[in-house]
Amino acid sequence: MKRLVPPGDYAVIDLETTGFSAQYHEIIEVAAVRVEAGRVTGVFSELVRPRRYISRQITRLTGITAEMTAGARPLAEVLPDYLAFLAGSDLLGHNIAFDLEFLRAGCRGLQLAAPDADSYCTMRLARRLHPEWSHHRLDDLVRHYDIPRSRAHRALDDCLATQRAFTCLLADDRRQSAGTPEEMAAREEVGSHPRYGAW
């Protein structure tokens, strides 16, 4: 059974892109925060210079313009550093399948080894814990938990918001779970939960 809580240390990841297809679009920003014992201990954040234009739609969504990325390093230079930062960590993200698809496509294009790590998704976790909610987007979690976030759809801000949302979801899980404090502590230490399969 997949663990509810990433074991040991983990890294929260988020990417911003020029569109929604890893086959046709490019990464324009990467970020990650390393978490150890529940505390953020490291940060990686960098814009990426794409080969093609950034549409006005993406600029409206992210605030990232072609001018902002003009002086940035290309993915071929940024990605090895990003992968080195992530090395050895399990990965956590909101709708992480999207980020992993782009990350793996970038690795294939540059003939780099993609991260071989367990991944965990706060969107899927939120759906399992709160099926009564209409939506489970990161924006919804930010509003529900009153999480401070200066900029939506910027990679580092979204990483930090995801990590805080994850902490809130774990608190919800503890409140929802039956059992003695000792049983709850043991379950948290092991990182498993009988109510959940893969997430």
Backbone φ, ψ for residue 151 (5° rounding): -140, 125
Check pLDDT > 80 for residue 30. Answer: yes
pTM of the model: 0.87
Q: Torsion-angle region of residue 3: left (phi > 0), alpha (psi -120 to 50) or beta?
A: beta
Q: How far apart are CA 33 and CA 22, in angstroms?
A: 23
Catalytic residues: 153
Cβ count within 10 A of residue 56? 9
Cα Rg for the chain, rounded, in angstroms?
17
Dist. CA 16–CA 13, nearest whole Å? 11
Task: Give pLDDT, residue 175.
Answer: 85
Q: Which two tokens stand for residue 104?
A: 């793996």
DSSP string, 55-84: PHHHHHHH---HHHHTTSPBHHHHHHHHHH
Average pLDDT, the chain: 89
Phi-psi region of 195 (alpha: psi -120 to 50; beta: other; left: phi over 0): alpha
**Where does the pLDDT of residue 182 fall: very low under 50, low under 70, confident under 90, or very high at 90 and above?**
low
Domains and their CATH numbers in the chain? 10-190 (3.30.420.10)
* Separation CA 74–CA 26 (nearest Å): 11
For the chain, report the end-to-end CA distance as a whole number of angstroms. 10
Mean pLDDT of 141-168: 95
The residue with greater pLDDT, 110 or 37, is 110
Q: What is the mean pLDDT of residues 165-174?
A: 91
pLDDT tens digits along 105-132: 999 999 999 999 999 999 999 999 999 9
* Of 146, 144, 81, 92, the residue nearest 117 (C-alpha): 92
Please check whether residue 158 is in contact with residue 45, taking contact to mean a CB–CB distance below 8 angstroms. no
Report whether pLDDT(23) > 90. yes
Please give the average per-residue pLDDT across 83-96, as a whole number: 96
Tally of CA atoms within 13 A in the half-sphere of 67 that contains its CB: 2
Instruction: Give me the pLDDT at residue 21, please.
Output: 97
**Residue 79 in tokens:** 């990605």
User: Are 167 and 5 spatial neighbours (Cβ–Cβ below 8 Å)?
Assistant: no
SS3 of residue 24 by DSSP: coil
